[in-house]
Copies of this chain bind each other. A is one copy, B any other.
Amino acid sequence: MSHISGVRQARKEKTRQALLDAALELLEGQSLSSLGLREVTRAVGIAPTAFYRHFRSVEDLGVALVEEALGSLHPMIRTTVSTTGDGEERIARAVGLIAGHVDAHPAHVRFIARERHGGVRAVREAIRGQLELFTAEVGEALASDAVSAGWGEEDLLMLAQLYVDQMLMTASLLLEAAAEGGPGERERVAGLAARQLRLISVGRAHWLDLPGGGG
């Protein structure tokens, strides 16, 4: 790559990121289905037609935001589930990581909570795809625990989805607590989430006691 095209590439990347950032900010008080392309380009200070150098549509930008919000979480989740020892340690670590993520990226967390059931199908599907990846990754990590001996793959995925759903729910409750809750609300939500994860772990430990091995 020549020096000039490298500079151009960097500038293009910067504008693309500015469009993503502006959209995320505009989405604080509205949903993607009502976000206008012109609103976004105006916020960045470029011509509306220049938008198409970066995204095919607002929908396409929304899919890129899903990738930005969730794509980077895969290694973090894998590490948490697979490397921390016993149940209690893992639960504390998971809740701590979620709380830290919500603090660091509140707008991304809000975007996912809102658009998961939002009016833009391509974005809903992108979110669903990322969550299915999380579920598969968590399921794979859970499979290597001693307590998973005798579990079928389908049951492991059922459990993994329960954990992933709880993590998402906790993230959105922590977001609400930060934005609208009274003092102590954040600790209450984190404590509640830890106990719910603990109850699920107890169910996991006794799942094969059921007649027919839980199935």
Residues of B contacting A54 in the complex (Cβ-Cβ under 8 angstroms): none
Which of these binds chain B: A7-15, A45-53, A202-210? A202-210
Residues of B contacting A176 in the complex (Cβ-Cβ under 8 angstroms): 124, 128
CB proximity of A91 to chain B, nearest CB, Å? 12
A30 CB contact (under 8 Å) in B34, B113, B207:
B34
Residues of B contacting A214 in the complex (Cβ-Cβ under 8 angstroms): 195, 198-199, 202
**What's the number of copies of this chain in the assembled complex?**
2
Residues of B contacting A89 in the complex (Cβ-Cβ under 8 angstroms): none
0/1 per residue, A81-97, Cβ < 8 Å to B?
Answer: 00000000000000000
A203 CB contact (under 8 Å) in B34, B192, B206:
B206
Q: Is the CB of A202 within 8 A of B206?
A: yes
A148 on the B face (CB < 8 A): no
A42 on the B face (CB < 8 A): no
A196/B113 contact (C-beta < 8 A), A31-B31, A202-B206 known = no
Residues of B contacting A28 in the complex (Cβ-Cβ under 8 angstroms): 119
A119/B31 contact (C-beta < 8 A), A155-B195, A192-B161, A195-B155 known = yes
Q: Is the CB of A209 within 8 A of B199?
A: no
CB proximity of A59 to chain B, nearest CB, Å? 13
A182 on the B face (CB < 8 A): no
A33 CB contact (under 8 Å) in B31, B125, B205:
B31
Residues of B contacting A207 in the complex (Cβ-Cβ under 8 angstroms): 199, 202
Q: Is the CB of B199 within 8 A of A159?
A: yes
**15 pairs, A vs B, C-beta closer than 8 Å:** A29-B119, A30-B31, A31-B31, A114-B117, A114-B119, A128-B176, A158-B196, A162-B200, A198-B214, A199-B200, A200-B200, A200-B203, A202-B214, A203-B206, A206-B206
